[in-house]
Amino acid sequence: MPETIQIGEINIAVTRKDIRNVHLSVHPPNGRVTMVAPTATRPEVARAYALSKLGWIRAQQAQLRAQARETPRAFVERESHYLWGRRHLLSVREVDAKPSIRLDHRRITLTVRPGTNVQKREAIMHDWHKSLLHAALPEMIQKWESKLGVKVAAYFLQRMKTKWGSCNHRAGNIRLNTELVKKPKDLLEYVVVHEMIHLLEPTHSERFLKLINKHYPGWREARAELNELPLSAEVWRE
């Protein structure tokens, strides 16, 4: 049975690893709490540590609950859409021609065939978002390959419900959330660096922290900003 610590209404999932210090995390979007503890830590010591951090846990959970949710997009005229951290207005043209998207200053023009439903409009926009990420990522990855001394075998883009990125260090692959196209480019870079460092150190160990502190010292600020920005209105499942 998985190890847990129950403190009032807060349930903390505990994982044991060969590390030196306890790591406590509160995860978006719903404030799920996890603890990674050294293998030899006694249960009462782990519980005492969690109790000492109870105020911090509740503050983090309250912050997550207060975060703005991005309202569901209908892909209609003069709707707001975010791109690289900036707000754009959507203009929709219905023309009997191949669907397309054009970006002009602060306006996104979506051209669709008459009668195109919301799901199809969303799919067209999602494909465009992926093309923008594909245009930005190779140079960014190449830059950090030389800095970190690693090689990314491949990267993949997909919608993710609970994380901004992931890494398969055995295969040498990284996976990135397509929602990152809506965030400032420096936050995309932070996620790229974070996942690439996992090619050197697969866990969030002390070695990982030393590496990210060395190569991306502003990572805490980037992580905080990323988690403060509007989340999707989708139902996020843990």
What pLDDT does 67 receive?
Answer: 61
Q: Which neighbouring-strand residues pair with 231?
A: 69
Q: Which 3 state secondary structure label does DSSP give 113?
A: coil
62 vs 130, more confident:
130
What pLDDT does 31 receive?
Answer: 84
Question: pLDDT, tens digit, for every residue of 145-200?
Answer: 999 999 999 999 998 877 899 999 999 999 999 999 999 999 999 999 999 999 99
Question: pLDDT, tens digit, for every residue of 131-151?
Answer: 999 999 999 999 999 999 999
Minimal CA–CA distance to 128: which of 75, 56, 171?
75
Domain with residues 80-228, CATH architecture: 2-Layer Sandwich (3.30)
DSSP E strand boundaries for the chain:
3-7, 10-17, 23-27, 32-38, 80-83, 86-94, 100-104, 107-112, 154-158, 165-168, 173-177
Question: pLDDT, tens digit, for every residue of 22-77?
Answer: 889 888 767 889 999 999 999 999 999 999 999 989 888 887 776 655 667 899 99
What pLDDT does 201 receive?
Answer: 96
- CA-to-CA distance for 65 and 29, rounded, in angstroms? 8
pLDDT band at residue 235 under the 50/70/90 scheme = very low
What pLDDT does 27 receive?
Answer: 82
Minimal CA–CA distance to 128: which of 149, 110, 105, 113?
110
What pLDDT does 2 receive?
Answer: 81
Minimal CA–CA distance to 196: which of 212, 178, 177?
212
Tokens coding 192: 């790229």
Per-domain boundaries in the chain: 3-66, 80-228
